[in-house]
Structure 1
Amino acid sequence: MRFRALLWPVPPVLVLVPAALILVLTLADTWGRLGWRALDWVYLSSQVGAQARLPVTVAAGAAALVAARLVRPTLVFAQPWQPRTGRDLPLRHAMVVTGWCLGAYLAGMLPLTAAVAAAGAGSPDPVAVLGALAGFAALTLLGYLCGVLARGPLGVPVAIGAVFLLTSLPLVADPWAALSLQLPFSPFLGVRESGPLGAYRLGFLLLSGVAVGWTAVWLTGAPRRLSAVHGTAVAAVAVAAVLPHLHPFPLVVPDPEAAEVCAEHAGVRYCVHEGHARELAAVTALAAPVFAAHGLAEAAPGQVRDLSLARGEEGPFDGPDEDVLWLSVHPGWNPGHEVPAAVAHGLVPDVRRCGSDGVASREAGAGPRERRASVVVDLEAWLAAQALDGGVHGDNLFAGAGPERVRAWIRHDHRRLAACEVDPGELPWRT
């Protein structure tokens, strides 16, 4: 009886089935991340909203079905003039559906939270987490309102479509991030969600939840008296939805408290965020063989730095320092693949310098530019392979060439290589 009281007056199947589905969806989407490298609290805080897209859609559909089944005007016990359709009934419906669905979602996030707590760095962002939870509740209430407005089962697909659209809008335009559950990307250690953005989202979603719930109460009540406070709340939601488009918020800001951990090897200084200290040995061990294989000391950067340490105008996109190679150490990264590839890419010239628009080919109909571009592309692949199995195979131009011979060629022809003037037929081991 005590368990049934937690569901009353909603039939158990209308609550427990969607809650179980939400739990399964959340676990399925996060289970593969439990063993990820470089997990941190900033990433987890953003995932509370990002992982909720499908679960909240299920919750909204369940809320719409509850409204369609239990307050539609064809029911003899749910007529507008009866006391049961007053404020208590829709509020109780909303509380039961929202509570069970949100509880199932939080239960599904527990394994990922435990994994971050065990090895993660940084600190949680409570405003981002609270904003995501407030949004989950507000969108579930919106689903209930869709069921009330549709007055039947049609409200379920309407609610699902509307909520899925609203949760997808941040992926289309940045200003929507202040009005929905998530950012268009997942921040991680080294940056934090902008304080004004998080505070605005939390306030907007709390206001929206109140306005939507109040509207559902008004539509199911009798007599329907429009309250000035209710009208003001609805108008405030409309105005608040426009403001971020007129003055967009910055999405993330650098973390001013970031400290670095460094090591030096063969004249190159390697630095990572203190929260990524476990990754420093892997970065050094995988980058050093690539620098050694290239052999040209003046081509190697003075530092290899974790992008989580970038500040202000630093970084590969906002005016990089030529003496720094930036690596993105992010949750779920694969250093065995990403470090050699990034280092090799930094050592060879940009393939677009060849004038081939990035196209590299040695086919029969390939022009001189495409052939010269293939030297750059194959050299990059060969350099990256030196940190892994030590060589390349297949039709790579450097397959079978000894490391000493490649290094000697780079020292001799590095100026022509930088200008993308080397043809495959000019490589000494192919002549």
Structure 2
Amino acid sequence: MTTLRGRVKASALFWPLPPLLCLAPAGLILALTLAGTWSPLSWRALDWVYLSGQVGAQARLPVVVAAGTAALVAARFTRASLVFAQPWQPRLGRDVPLRHALLLTGWCLGAYLVGLIPLTVAVATHGAGVVNPIPVLGALAGFVALTLLGYLCGLFARGLFGVPVAIATVFVLTALPMVADPWTATSLQLPFVPFVGMRESVPLGSYRLGFFLLAVTIAAWTTAWFLRVPRRFSVPHVSGVVLLASAALLPHLYTFPLLAYAQDGDEVCSEHDGIRYCVHEGHADELALIIDLAAPVFAAHGQADAVPNEVRDHGLATGDGEVLDGPAHGVLWMRVHPGWDPYRQVPGDAAAWLVPDLFVCGSEGVAAMDRNARARERRAAVITGLQAWLASQAFEGDTSEDGLFADADPDEVRAWIARDGDRLSACEVEPEELPWWP
């Protein structure tokens, strides 16, 4: 008796589907999600804004699995050869297909959310920024809508052909933001990863959420309609489809802004050698390392008027103009983002601030020292060599690369910069003019 009761309770979790059709896609989705979020668990500078965007970004492959499984269920359990699914048979009604959709969505979406738990715990440990609920809700609504779209593909195809159609369709729809920004309003994610100090724009997120809620409603309505007797189009149904198509077209006529700057935290600052360093409070653990890596680079250059007045975390910016005008105001903006490598980025950004832009040489950004190199490309090599040498000073000059500055003495380099700084800025220094060059 106990065994029978247990079987009845277990079947309620899957009925009217075989357990394998629920457990197999759920297990695959869980594995895909854990694999996709495993590497970020050890990243630096994780924050809640990043996690909010990852709810949609990590769903790209899981939702394809969910849609393909939904198409398989629809093709397998609503085909016309079944005794309860004949074209003239009204017994299928709406309860069974909606139960299919509810089961598949619950198992697949539940497995996806479980897969996000480790990343959520890792972000909670750092606690930078605040959650942006609109992108999260929009991504979850999109997951449900695209799963129902897969079910519709199986219904319309009335065969296994609907499975590859559903997989291909949903895969393309989730990849469209990488092609053009307007598709972002009707897809799961932004074409790039936001982080603390910014957020997805409210108009874009709200439109996506509304679009997917409308899509869920129309998909559920269409599912019930298609298996009803008699099967014929109705004016409300056609109007709903036209409304959804119009909603998908609107972002191409009016492009929503993708991001907005968000001041969701205070700044933490420290001063070293006359330079002020400031980061978002969520990145306070990075401040000391930024100073340790940037200060030797600025000191190696030796010219006080060439170093920035301030080094600021991009998470503290209030607008694009503030960042773009940074050099004019003596501010070096540094992107402290999830997964960043400060040992590479900080010395590189500091060195890039101190040397002229490579394009001043007129070499189209090409620097070369080979036999066929042109004069302007050889002069550009002086700039790139100096930049690499300055960056290496963050590690006490330890560099494995041989180049124009490989044997240079730091005092000799500083004296040369003081003497030929103007010619260097104009890209007029030949490699043979370097004092230490044989």
Q: TM-score, normalised by structure 2?
A: 0.96
Corresponding residue of 1:347: 354
- Alignment CA distance shift 1:133-1:194 (3 Å): same
Partner of 2:54: 47
Q: Which of 74, 88, 91 in structure 1 is aligned with 2:95?
A: 88
In the TM superposition, what is the alpha-carbon distance from 1:313 to its structure 2 partner?
Answer: 4.1
Q: Give ranges in structure 1 of 5+ residues lacking alignment.
A: none
The aligned residue for residue 167 of structure 1 is: 174
1:132 paired with 2:139, answer yes
Deviations 1:68-101 (A, max 9, x none): 1100112233213334421011101100111100
Could you tell me whether the CA contact under 8 Å between 2:145 and 2:213 is conserved in 1?
Answer: yes
Of 270, 275, 279, the residue aligned with 2:277 is 270
Report the Cα distance in structure 2 between the residues aligned to 1:232 and 1:319, rounded to whole angstroms. 52
Aligned to 1:281: 288
Q: 1:298 to 1:393 in 2, by over 3 A?
A: same
Q: Secondary structure at the match of 1:358?
A: coil
For residue 309 of structure 2, the aligned residue among 295, 302, 309 is: 302
C-alpha displacement at 1:204, in angstroms? 0.5
Residue segments in structure 2 that go unaligned for 5+ positions in a row: 1-6
Amino acid at match of 2:60: R
Deviations 1:361-404, CA, capped at 9 Å, x for gaps: 11111111011000101111111111125233443111121111
- Name 1:37's counterpart in structure 2: 44
One of 256, 271, 275 as aligned partner of 2:263: 256
CA-CA distance at 1:430 after TM superposition: 1.2
Work out the CA distance in 1 between the residues paired with 2:315 and 2:361.
32
C-alpha distance in 1, partners of 2:157/2:325?
50
Q: Give the structure 2 partner of residue 109 of structure 1.
A: 116
Q: 1:214 aligns with which of 199, 207, 221?
A: 221
2:328, 2:25 → 1: CA distance? Answer: 52
2 CA distance for matches of 1:101 and 1:65?
14
Q: Take 1:234 and 1:313, find their aligned partners in 2: how far apart are those partners?
A: 39
- 1:423 and 2:423 are equivalent in the alignment: no
For residue 67 of structure 1, the aligned residue among 74, 80, 83 is 74
Map 1:391-430 onto structure 2 (within 5 A). Answer: 391-430=398-437
Alignment check: 8 A CA contact 1:382 1:391 kept: no
In 2, the alpha carbon distance for the partners of 1:87 and 1:394 equals 69
Q: Residue 297 of structure 1 aligns to a residue in which SS?
A: coil
Q: Distance in 2 between matches of 1:320 and 1:196?
A: 32
Tell me the CA shift for residue 226 of structure 1. 3.8
Does the alignment pair 1:192 with 2:192? no
The range that moved more, 308-317 or 413-422, is 308-317
Q: 1:320 to 1:234 in 2, by over 3 A?
A: farther
Q: 2:372 maps to which residue? A: 365
User: 1:380 — aligned with what?
Assistant: 387
Q: Report the aligned-residue RMSD.
A: 1.4
Question: Matches of 2:294 and 2:401 in 1, distance apart?
Answer: 24
Paired AA for residue 112 in structure 1: L
Three-state SS of the structure 2 residue aligned to 1:34 is helix
Instruction: Please list the CA deviations of residues 236-264 of structure 1 after superposition, one character each: whole Å capped at 9, or x if unmatched.
Output: 21111111111111111111344211111
Read off the aligned partner of 1:242 and give its amino acid letter: L
Structure 1 residue identity aligned to 2:11: R
- Deviation of 1:125 after TM superposition, in Å, equals 1.0
The list of structure 1 runs, each at least 4 consecutive aligned residues, that deviate by more than 6 angstroms after superposition, is: none
**2:44 alignment partner AA:** R
> Is residue 317–residue 323 contact of structure 2 (8 Å, CA) maintained in 1?
no
Distance in structure 1 (CA, Å) of the matches to 2:387 and 2:161: 57
Aligned to 2:23: 16
Q: Compute the TM-score of the two structures, normalised by the length of structure 1.
A: 0.97
Greater displacement, 389-398 / 164-173? 389-398
Name the structure 1 match of 2:148. 141
SS of alignment partner, residue 428 of structure 1: coil
- Give the C-alpha shift of residue 317 in structure 1: 4.2
Contact (CA 8 Å) 1:178, 1:198: kept in 2 or not? yes
8 A contact 2:385–2:405 mirrored in 1: yes
Identify if the C-alpha distance between structure 1 residues 317 and 85 changes in structure 2 by more than 3 Å, giving closer, same or farther.
farther
Q: What is the CA distance between 1:295 and its match in structure 2?
A: 0.8
Structure 2 match to 1:332: 339
**Residue identity (%):** 63
Name the counterpart of 1:234.
241
CA distance in 2, matches of 1:273, 1:348: 27
* Amino acid paired to 1:66: V
Distance 1:271 1:314, change over 3 A: farther
AA aligned opposite 1:69 = R
Counterpart contact for 1:344–1:384, Cα < 8 Å: yes
**For 2:69 and 2:408, how far apart are their aligned partners in 1?**
64
1:320 CA drift (Å): 4.7
Supply the AA of the counterpart residue of 1:338: Q
